[in-house]
Copies of this chain bind each other. A is one copy, B any other.
Amino acid sequence: MAKITPELIPFHTATAAFSAGKDSPREYLERRIAKIEADEPQVRAFVSLNIDRARAAADMSSDRWKQGQPLSAIDGMPVGIKDIIETVDMPTECGSPIYKGWQSNRDAAVVAALREAGAIIIGKTVTTEFAAMEPRATRNPWDLGRTPGGSSSGSAAGVAAGFFPVGIGTQALGSLIRPASYNGIVGFKPSQGALNRGGAIDYLSQSVIGVLSASLEDSWNVAHAIAQRVGGDPGFPGLMGPAQRPLGKMPRTIALLQTPGWDQASFAAKRLLDDAITRLKSRGVTVITRADDKAVAEVEMAVTNGIALSHKINGWEWLWPLNSFKTRDAAALSKFMHDRMATNAKMTLDDYRAALAERETIRASYAKLAEHCEAVVTLSAIGPAPVGLHGTGTSPFNAPASMIGNPAISLPLFTEDSMPLGLQVMGFLHKDADLFAIAGWIDDVLGGTHA
């Protein structure tokens, strides 16, 4: 198997040189294109590319920086877009033959906002079938024999491969945080509804659009630029927080949450987290756990069935459009999708309502935790990316935040078996800015350089 060299290339560190005339968005883009030309045949992060339009956009951005008039902090940033999100200049294929070559009539809200902010949409990135479980072709840049995770496979692998500094993805279960962990990059799952999902083939009540990147700064800048231009989901307040990324801030108290993932996590992964906790304690942070805090113990209990409950909710919410796709071309759906439909067909509207009520109880339990701590830490995945491309890994550490709707960040701080592994920091609903401050501090203290 060929090897490539993963490389985290932030965007925000490049803009000073744009202003100084020593570099430009066009040159920055050309370096990314060179990486793509060299390594894309191995990584397979893209479904489609629009290099011509990207170059034209980069030239206009270069002019703006030269004139000292960038449209935003992300003017000139090349971005990869998960292929369930519509783009007017490229097909949206959703990882499904049913959508092969399908042309939308518009840019999705996040894409329109990114273009308005001067960002460059370089291509569409590989997703699992309809952002669910069936993997497509992408490989992990750290080991081409391993999965990059999913469902935001191409957006995560593309950042790790240096194809673009930021990829847009979505998470309804673990599709941002898990691939961020597997690819050794920063993953940001915002609060539920924080970024407008209009024009994404994504209708799940606990799905959210998020950012995969090489740095916290880029993540914040992208999320903020989107929210200011097109807001959050209709009826939601949208991402809260200042234009500038909140600087690192030490938390007084954090909670260690084991989640259902603990029993499945590798010995090495648990050891790495334990060591990190020890180091945070040595810096004066109080760490509460299920053993010594009743509110933490309650949340641990509440999230025990997180994956099963999420599957139930997501499953009912997938009845449509799967019923329409099945009527049209049943053979074009994977066995996984057929199995999912068979399971969901047994659900009733009353079952769904009961599941929603259960989720509300869990959300209330987690919200109470805010009185006990400023953030929550756990692993981002049970271990490094599994070997093989037949699956995209599991989400026991990720389902809680998806179900609860709270924001979460994966920091690429650990290594196991020469592969990256993430530390997950979780915050509280609409307190994404506070989460960034604490994650920034933790990254720094634990030796990270991902600010």
Contact = CB atoms under 8 A, between A and B. Distances in A.
A231 B112 contact: no
A88 B324 CA distance: 8
Main secondary structure, interface of A, reads helix
A320 B198 contact: yes
Interface string A322-353: 01110110000000000000000000110011
Given A316-B231, A320-B196, A321-B199, A106 B328 contact: yes
A98 interface: yes
A321 to B, nearest CB: 5
Interface string A193-228: 000101100011110000000000000000000011
A231 B317 CA distance: 8
Contact of A320 (B105, B113, B321): B113
Given A106-B325, A328-B106, A319 B231 contact: yes
Nearest to A316: B231
- Copies of the protein in its oligomer: 2
A105 B102 contact: yes
A349 B198 contact: no
Contact of A321 (B109, B235, B352): B109
Contact of A237 (B238, B321, B356): B356
A231 B106 contact: no
A21 interface: no
Interface residues of A, number: 45
A112 B327 contact: yes
Interface in A89-114: 98-99, 102, 105-109, 111-113
A116 interface: yes
Given A102-B105, A112-B327, A234 B321 contact: no
A58 interface: no
B317 A234 contact: yes
Given A99-B105, A231-B319, A237 B353 contact: yes
Interface of A: 88, 98-99, 102, 105-109, 111-113, 115-116, 196, 198-199, 203-206, 227-231, 234-235, 237-238, 316-317, 319-321, 323-325, 327-328, 348-349, 352-353, 356
Given A109-B321, A237-B353, A238-B349, 12 more contacts: A88-B324, A88-B327, A99-B105, A105-B328, A109-B320, A196-B320, A199-B324, A205-B235, A230-B320, A235-B356, A237-B352, A238-B352
7 interchain residue pairs of minimum CB distance: A205-B235, A205-B234, A109-B320, A106-B324, A107-B324, A230-B320, A112-B324
